[in-house]
Structure 1
Amino acid sequence: MKRSFLLPLLTMLLALVSTTGSAGALRPASLNDDTIVVRLPNQATMTLYVKNKAQLRELRNYKLDSLIVLLDTYIAQAEKASKNSTSEQVTMEFYPAKDQPGQQVPEQIRITMHNEPGKPAGRTARTGDHVDVTLGRVFGVSVDENTDGSGNDRVSVRVGSSAKSDSVRNAERKARQEERANRAVHSNFDIDLGLNALTNQATAPGDFRPDLRPAASRYISLNWHYDIRLGRKGSPLYLRTGPELAFNNYMLDNVYQFRSANGVTSVTLPDAGRNLTKSKLAVSSINLPLMPMLSFRDKKGHDAFRIGAGGFVGYRLGAHTKIKYEEGGSTKKDKDRGSYNLEDFQYGVQGTIGIRSIDLFAKYNLNNTFKDNRGPQANTISFGISLLN
């Protein structure tokens, strides 16, 4: 809608509300007590929808000339933003009461420009434009212009305060989504849930291979990620980084256990008379990923598809073994803390792929899980699903 049309319309509306006018200019609609139809001399029709008469009186609190000047300035800014946006709706909020303390102006003015889908932003649509103007926190004005192609124009003006219109709520939601999408850096918290496995195993003479129980060797990671946009505004390319607190559990087959002796960690059978029911090695670490990502959104601004691949580095925070066994007719548990000759520093590659709110991940440690010649030679691979915030 062109501003040259909207401003005279609002001027006439406010003038009708703030003056007594003739009795024939305003008449109640027969089907709705809160509807007022305004017949103009040029046979145009304006329809006002109000909750009660108090809402109309609210407009009298403002000076018409000052209010029109404010709306003229704000609508111009909203039109400019709408022309530069690819979104179907652009909402801007202004706070004249803060800018002009002591003046009789609204506390808040919200302008929502609606661009018709499929047409270039900012151009006047053949079938009509839609503009929402909300004055203060008490009531709102909504202006619709529709052209049916036969030369007949229909204009509706709505005034109401019971709740925000669906269009305003949708505009605010889209504005938040667009603002987040265009933010240079945004953070999120997610949780990785998965499983661990050992690959490239090499068994030292006299040692048993550390065969893991797949479903019990769990991987959990608490991630505070920062996605840093690479490139200009709207670019789908990001760099993901941020601390990850990871917990790797290596659950052995029940007949074996991890044990350190003489400076070497090995997988051995338990002591005679012990019947193991649980045997695991738990390792905690802090990791830092560096992973380029492509993140795409659908027409509604929702996350649609993501894919990324990169590397990570990590440092071991702690480790302990835990065994549960039957001995002498009773159940016992032993928990021992130590380094178990695990590598303190870890590094590797990782990748992720996601659709909507579901992400799958995989991580592979390029260096050995244990120090060379001081523990089982193997690399760790972790994979699973990410729970997004």
Structure 2
Amino acid sequence: MQRAFLPFFLLLSGLTAGLNEARATRLAVPATVQDTIVMRLPNRATLTLTVRDAAQLRQLKNYHLDSLTTRLATYITQAEAAAKAGTTNQVTMRFYPDKDQPGQNLPEEIRITAHKPGTDGTKGPTKTQVYLNKKFGITTYNDGDGKNSISIGTNGSSSVKTKADSAKRGDRRDRHTVDLRFDIGLNSFVNSSANSVSSGAPSLSRWGWGMGYTSIGLDYVQPIAYSKRAKLALTLGPEFTTNRFLLRGNDQWVKTNTATFTERAPDAKQIDESRLTINTLSLPVMLRLKLRNKDDRRTLSAGIGGFAGYRVGGNITTEYKLAGSDNKHEDKLRGDLNLNEWQYGLQGEIGFHALRLFARYNLNEVFEDAKGPQTHALSFGLRVLGF
């Protein structure tokens, strides 16, 4: 056991030497941890080591920790020089000793985050992370005021994972991404008025399978402002949407040469479904805000923007049975259907944790002037994927 502690003690002494005051940050202990060892060093630093079993202690001698202090001094010097010359407030550098010199049981990764020194000449905070393998890591953090925190633990430690995720967030701060987005919801007719074609909005079936809204698209996400727990981004990208308007009861959609409207079918014709389907290729643009907690988990999100698109397809499908017969018939009409070819409007979203809701309103009418019911479309539902 003493052989295992010797190189480990040299590493920790080298990391904490020269500091006026040190403090230890204890990691969350996984359920499988069985042993905890506390060491008090002469410079008043207290180090806590948590392991699953004594075998992990004996493995420390395989990592040449006695020579790691020299490597760390070189790496830290390079990181501090890069931070001083950089244009941002901090610089994160990664070193891979095991890849550079394979076969020598060196650490897999050393990650150092160095902050730009203050204008008053004081040294800014620095952070060093050493990964001996995928299940064991050491993290040190110097806040620039002579106080040092050291965390040591096995894989599954929330402290090491959170700090590593924080460094990753800093790396992707100004990086754009492309996300897949999928929405599912319902449609409704709103803001309707009577005209020469219809006395008002058609009566829709609210919860039928043929009554719904779906959208799939790609969002190009360009960050505008970024902090540790908030991200403001502009998103835009193509989407393909489908709106289905299913009529209630024995009503059916009818198209003539001059208009598209709804009417009640004769009693000899029993309507199973009569729906209007509109397929549109659109380009939405939104300003989105996403908030996260200290564990880098989504909390609150919101967005507002608009969309514009062109109708690329559509049909009227009517499924029915005739009186005295069990045979099902289906009539399908295609063409312009007297619909407005261009559709545009406003949209917004709000979410909390995994639940995300959206709504979009068409500013222009669904049908051409005096060629169909005078009404607008409102869609709302769940956003399953996306920024």
TM-score (norm 1): 0.69
Counterpart of 2:329 (choices 333, 338, 354) is 333
1:101-147 CA-partner distances (Å, limit 9, x unpaired): 679583623347799xxxxx9559xxxxx9653236686556799xx
Alpha carbons 1:78, 1:111 under 8 Å: kept: no
Q: 1:184 to 1:272 in 2, by over 3 A?
A: same
CA apart distance, 1:247 = 1.4
Alpha carbons 1:238, 1:293 under 8 Å: kept: yes
Counterpart of 2:62 (choices 58, 77, 83) is 58
Q: 1:286 to 1:44 in 2, by over 3 A?
A: closer
Q: Secondary structure at the match of 1:215?
A: coil
Q: 1:315 to 1:298 in 2, by over 3 A?
A: same
Query: Which residue is equivalent to 2:251?
Result: 256
Query: Which residue is equivalent to 1:27?
Result: none
> Equivalents in 2 of 1:202, 1:324: separation in Å?
28
Query: Which residue is equivalent to 2:352?
Result: 355
Q: Secondary structure at the match of 1:285?
A: strand
State yes or no: 1:227 paired with 2:221.
yes
Q: 1:85 to 1:331 in 2, by over 3 A?
A: farther
> Equivalents in 1 of 2:61, 2:377: separation in Å?
72
> Equivalents in 2 of 1:108, 1:320: separation in Å?
60
Matched to 1:106, the amino acid is L
Counterpart of 2:192 (choices 160, 176, 201) is 201
CA apart distance, 1:359 = 2.0
> Equivalents in 2 of 1:253, 1:43: separation in Å?
78
CA apart distance, 1:260 = 1.4
CA apart distance, 1:365 = 0.8
Counterpart of 1:380 (choices 345, 367, 377) is 377
Map 1:23-172; keep pairs closer than 5 Å. 51=55, 55-60=59-64, 64=67, 67-76=68-77, 93-98=94-99, 100=100, 106=106, 108-111=108-111, 132-135=129-132, 140=137, 163=155, 165-172=157-164
Matched to 2:75, the amino acid is Y
What CA RMSD, in Å, does the superposition of the two structures yield over aligned residues? 4.6
> Equivalents in 2 of 1:271, 1:10: separation in Å?
89
Gapped runs of 5+ residues in structure 1?
A: 1-6, 15-31, 116-120, 125-129, 146-152
Q: Give the length in aligned residue pairs.
A: 340
CA apart distance, 1:154 = 12
CA apart distance, 1:250 = 0.5
Q: 1:221 to 1:52 in 2, by over 3 A?
A: closer
Query: Which residue is equivalent to 2:30?
Result: none
Query: Which residue is equivalent to 1:218?
Result: 212
State yes or no: 1:184 paired with 2:175.
yes
Alpha carbons 1:367, 1:379 under 8 Å: kept: yes
Query: Which residue is equivalent to 1:274?
Result: 269
Alpha carbons 1:177, 1:301 under 8 Å: kept: no
> Equivalents in 2 of 1:201, 1:220: separation in Å?
23
Matched to 2:217, the amino acid is N
Alpha carbons 1:238, 1:294 under 8 Å: kept: yes
Alpha carbons 1:78, 1:91 under 8 Å: kept: yes
What is the aligned-residue identity percentage?
33
> Equivalents in 1 of 2:243, 2:34: separation in Å?
68
State yes or no: 1:371 paired with 2:338.
no
Gapped runs of 5+ residues in structure 2?
A: 1-7, 16-32, 116-122
- With CA pairs under 8 Å and 6+ residues apart, which has the higher RCO, 1 or 2? 2
Q: Secondary structure at the match of 2:55?
A: coil
